[in-house]
């Protein structure tokens, strides 16, 4: 069962919406459109840090939000004070009930630009209103989960701890960001609230102030070792790593832990030339009889610095990564968008499209499904395919895919299996999905990333994973573009 956190339960986030969601809703009601069924897709256009894929996260918080949609009398009084909303609309909000159908990819799924990762169908006021929170929640957590995966990947099997609470963009950024970092592969977090609310390991030892509070470094180490003989990790760079930090740590291990039959957990270096200091520290620890004592490195690390440290043969066993992870410093915006894709007329989905002179901003119309093709023998993901929702993929027959822009680039897939990426989350406003616990989400994420080609996972110039349109969907899109683009210019 998923841990139900205080973060989720104690706040009504209904009014966390862009104001135009409400002005449009008021207008829809005035024009009798409140019952018009609309389809919206959330998707993103570009992978952060020019990576090969992103990781989807934030679904659990999106579900909690949708379950608790309700306008309070205080909310309605505030809106009434704006003097732009009709009384009919305020009464509508007083009785507001979420009745949409919602589909989403599961948390931890590798995702790619242009494909719907959340799909909402329902009365236009409701489907439009949830835009802001869907984007806020999914954009933030997917960004941090993706960054965490990159950092964990750079560590080449060494553990990464999330240490960024104090540098996060606000307290929700710290708490929920640490959750996303865990999905992306971190082993735990320094954020105690995340540990409590999401059953994620909360980790930490001491700050430099602990060392400074005692008459000398050795006394501080011995005091800490006596308080925490199990899992004792000492911070060794307050004064001088090699002249005092390591010698005093070794003396503490010899005089406090050894008599108790305990082994040290580690030492942490938080400044200086970490590559050089870690190698020297490793030599000193090994010589003193502590080859099992791990060396932890922190200090404004990211995937690039970690990779450089390992190229230099740094002797580091664990990394504590803070500000550059929790803020995704090198690419702090995920860029997901939420666009109308269809409306229903007489029970049939009628495709809608947004056209732009910027080809990347032209949307893909229609009520859609997203399929992922896997090689039947290796389990490797081959391509994703967007189709109209009534199309069926026959796994017993070859299937031709093609590039939506360079349509002469075609490939016939054989010996494949497919699965739908979008799974039902809400049906007529009732949640039909039970979120896995956070540990299962993390495990699922790793399993799914392992289905990608290594060329897709590399940092530099990753292989472009195929996200294609079915022929039927491609025809719908380009017929709409032709139809709308060929209209005569108005005469003034």
Residue 249 scores a pLDDT above 60:
yes
Over range 69-86, report the average pLDDT. Answer: 97
- In this prediction, residue 32 has a pLDDT band, given cuts at 50, 70 and 90, of very high
CA pair distance 116, 422, nearest whole angstrom: 8
- In this prediction, residue 1 has a pLDDT band, given cuts at 50, 70 and 90, of very low
Residue 480 scores a pLDDT above 80:
yes
Written in H, E and C, the secondary structure of the chain is CCCCCHHHHCCCCCCCCCHHHHHHHHHHHHCCCCCCEEEEEEEECCCHHHCCCEECCCHHHHHHHHHCCCCCHHHHHHHHCCCCCCHHHHHHHHCCCCCCEEEECCCCCEECCCCCCEEEEEEHHHHHHCHHHHHHHHHHHHHHHHHHHHHHHHCCCCEEEECCHHHCCCHHHHHHHHHHHHHCCCCEECCHHHHHHHCCCECCCCCHHHHHCCCCHHHHHHHHHHHCCCCCEEECCCCCHHHHHHHHHHHHHHHHHHHHCCCCCEEEECCCCHHHHHHHHHHHHHHCCCCCCEEEECCCCCHHHHHHHHHCCCCCCEEEECHHHHCCCCCCCCCEEEEEEEEEECCEEEECCCCCCCHHHCCCCCCEEEEEEEECCCCCEEEEEEEECCCCCCCCCCEEEECCCCCCCEEEECCEEEEECCEEEEECCEECCCCCCHHHHHHHHHHHHCCCCHHHHCCCCCCCCCEEECHHHHHHHHHHHHHHHCCCCCCC
Q: Which two tokens stand for residue 110?
A: 């590798």
pLDDT of residue 2: 44
- In this prediction, residue 325 has a pLDDT band, given cuts at 50, 70 and 90, of very high
Over range 283-296, report the average pLDDT. Answer: 98
Q: What is the mean pLDDT of the chain?
A: 95
How far, CA to CA in Å, does 146 sit from each of 53, 54, 103, 177, 355?
A: 8, 5, 21, 11, 29
Residue 386 scores a pLDDT above 60:
yes
Residue 232 scores a pLDDT above 80:
yes
CA pair distance 191, 177, nearest whole angstrom: 10
Residue 345 scores a pLDDT above 90:
yes
- In this prediction, residue 357 has a pLDDT band, given cuts at 50, 70 and 90, of confident
* Beta strand 381-388 pairing with 399-402: unpaired
Helix axes of 438-449 and 171-183: crossing angle, nearest 10 degrees: 50
Q: Which two tokens stand for residue 324?
A: 């550059």
How far, CA to CA in Å, does 160 sit from each of 190, 203, 215?
A: 11, 11, 33
Over range 45-65, report the average pLDDT. Answer: 97
pLDDT of residue 360: 83
pLDDT of residue 417: 97
Over range 279-294, report the average pLDDT. Answer: 98
Domains of the chain: 6-144+332-485 (3.20.140.10), 205-316 (3.20.20.70)
Q: pLDDT tens digits for 402-456?
A: 999 899 999 999 999 999 999 999 999 999 999 999 999 999 999 999 999 999 9
Give residue for tokens 């395919």: 385
- In this prediction, residue 368 has a pLDDT band, given cuts at 50, 70 and 90, of very high
- In this prediction, residue 356 has a pLDDT band, given cuts at 50, 70 and 90, of confident
What is the Cβ-side half-sphere exposure of residue 438, based on CA atoms within 13 angstroms? Answer: 26
pLDDT of residue 11: 80
**By percentage, how much of the chain surpasses pLDDT 90?**
93
pLDDT of residue 284: 98
- In this prediction, residue 487 has a pLDDT band, given cuts at 50, 70 and 90, of confident
CA–centroid distance for 69 within its chain: 23
Q: pLDDT tens digits for 4-17?
A: 455 555 689 999 99
Residue 68 scores a pLDDT above 70:
yes
pTM of the model: 0.95
Better pLDDT: 161 or 487: 161
Give residue for tokens 């209103």: 129
Residue 489 scores a pLDDT above 90:
no
């Amino acid at each position: 069962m998923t841990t139900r956190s205080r973060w989720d339960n104690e706040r009504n986030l209904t009014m966390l919406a862009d104001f135009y969601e409400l002005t449009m809703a008021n207008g829809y009601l005035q024009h009798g459109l409140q019952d018009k069924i609309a389809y919206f897709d959330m998707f993103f256009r570009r992978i952060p840090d020019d990576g090969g894929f992103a990781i989807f996260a934030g679904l659990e918080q999106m579900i909690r939000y949708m379950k608790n949609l309700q306008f309070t009398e205080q909310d309605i009084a505030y809106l009434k004070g704006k003097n732009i909303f009709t009384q009919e609309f305020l009464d509508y909000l007083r009785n507001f009930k979420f009745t949409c159908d919602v589909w989403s990819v599961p948390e931890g799924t590798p995702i790619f630009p242009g494909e719907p990762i959340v799909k909402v169908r329902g009365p236009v006021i409701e489907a439009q209103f949830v835009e802001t929170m869907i984007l806020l929640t999914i954009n933030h957590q997917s960004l941090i989960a993706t960054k965490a995966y990159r950092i964990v990947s750079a560590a080449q099997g060494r553990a990464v701890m999330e240490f960024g609470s104090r540098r996060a963009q606000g307290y929700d950024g710290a708490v929920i960001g640490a959750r996303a970092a865990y999905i992306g592969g971190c082993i735990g977090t320094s954020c105690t609230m995340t540990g409590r609310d999401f059953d994620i390991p909360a980790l930490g030892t001491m700050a430099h102030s602990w060392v400074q509070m005692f008459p000398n470094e050795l006394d501080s180490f011995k005091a800490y070792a006596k308080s925490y003989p199990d899992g004792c990790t000492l911070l060794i760079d307050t004064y001088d790593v090699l002249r005092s930090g390591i010698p005093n740590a070794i003396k503490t291990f010899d005089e406090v832990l050894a008599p108790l039959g305990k082994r040290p957990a580690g030492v942490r270096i938080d400044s200086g030339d970490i590559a050089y200091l870690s190698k020297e520290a490793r030599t000193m620890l090994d010589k003193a009889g502590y080859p099992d004592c791990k060396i932890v490195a922190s200090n404004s690390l990211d995937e690039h610095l970690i990779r450089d440290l390992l190229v230099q043969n740094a002797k580091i066993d664990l990394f504590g990564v803070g500000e550059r992870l929790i803020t995704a410093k090198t690419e702090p915006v995920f860029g997901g968008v939420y666009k109308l894709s269809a409306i229903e007329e007489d029970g049939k989905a009628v495709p809608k499209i947004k056209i732009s002179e910027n080809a990347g901003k032209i949307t893909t119309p229609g009520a859609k499904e997203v399929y992922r093709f896997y090689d039947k023998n290796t389990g490797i993901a081959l391509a994703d395919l967007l189709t109209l929702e009534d199309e069926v993929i026959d796994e017993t027959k070859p299937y031709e895919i093609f590039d939506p822009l360079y349509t002469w680039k075609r490939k016939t897939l054989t010996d494949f299996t497919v699965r739908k990426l979008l799974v039902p989350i809400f049906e007529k406003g009732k949640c039909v999905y039970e979120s896995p616990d956070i540990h299962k989400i993390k495990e699922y994420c790793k399993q799914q990333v392992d289905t990608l080609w290594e060329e897709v996972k590399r940092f530099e110039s990753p292989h472009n994973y195929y996200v294609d349109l079915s022929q039927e969907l491609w025809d719908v899109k380009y017929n709409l573009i032709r139809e709308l683009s060929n209209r005569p210019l108005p005469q003034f």
